[in-house]
């Protein structure tokens, strides 16, 4: 048995095959934006409803943002589950790549334009505060998911 401690190294999330290269680039840039706004961020987070949020973030004050990534016009037209995310966040945003037609994004959600290096909020999301019981359950679930992911980095 080695006397040297095992030092975990960061391994970036492995694509699961469901995201295009464009979606992964938008995810990275939007994630950086959320962190710059003080949010703790998880990608591909499964909500209590069974739906999977592309990005979810929690601010220090408990405010929850969900970001739905749309990589193309077809992606937006085919996937219409996003209204269900409103029940799990205080603010809902769409994140799209540079060059995608912004006018097709719903006006009652925030809008982020992103690439692999960063992102910018073009339209703030309207606030629709979570009820206290849902906020508590979501916060506890978020913490458990984050802890499990962290643990799996150093003990896969």
CA 86, 55, 58, 143 dihedral sign is positive
Residue at 54 is within a domain: yes
Domain holding 117: CATH number? 3.40.1350
The total domain count for the chain is 1
Q: 33-61 pLDDT, tens per residue?
A: 999 999 999 999 999 999 999 999 999 99
Query: If we measure between CA atoms, which residue out of 127, 73, 63 comes closest to residue 99?
Result: 73
Q: 69-103 pLDDT, tens per residue?
A: 999 999 999 988 899 999 999 999 999 999 999 99
Contact 144, 150 (CB under 8 A): no
The answer on pLDDT for 13 being more than 90 is: no
Query: If we measure between CA atoms, which residue out of 121, 126, 33, 50 comes closest to residue 86?
Result: 126
User: Tokens 């206290």 label which residue?
Assistant: 132
Beta bridge partners of residue 120, listed in sequence order: 113
pLDDT on residue 11: 44
Residue at 92 is within a domain: yes
Please give the residue range of the domain that contains residue 122. 21-154
pLDDT on residue 19: 73
Taking the C-alpha atoms of residue 51 and residue 83, their distance in angstroms, rounded to an integer, is 11
* pTM, full prediction: 0.86
């Amino acid at each position: 048995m080695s006397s040297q401690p095992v030092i975990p190294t960061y391994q970036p999330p492995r694509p699961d095959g469901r995201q295009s290269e464009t979606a992964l680039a938008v995810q990275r840039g939007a994630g950086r934006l959320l962190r710059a706004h003080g949010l703790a961020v998880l990608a591909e987070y499964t909500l209590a409803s069974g739906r999977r949020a592309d990005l979810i973030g929690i601010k220090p004050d408990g405010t929850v943002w969900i970001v739905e990534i749309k990589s193309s016009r077809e992606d937006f037209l085919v996937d219409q589950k996003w209204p269900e995310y409103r029940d799990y966040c205080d603010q809902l945003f769409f994140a799209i790549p540079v060059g995608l037609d912004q006018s097709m994004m719903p006006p009652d959600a925030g809008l982020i334009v992103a690439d692999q290096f960063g992102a910018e909020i073009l339209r703030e999301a309207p606030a629709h505060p979570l009820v206290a019981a849902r906020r508590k359950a979501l916060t506890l679930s978020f913490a458990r998911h984050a802890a499990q992911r962290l643990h799996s980095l150093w003990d896969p």
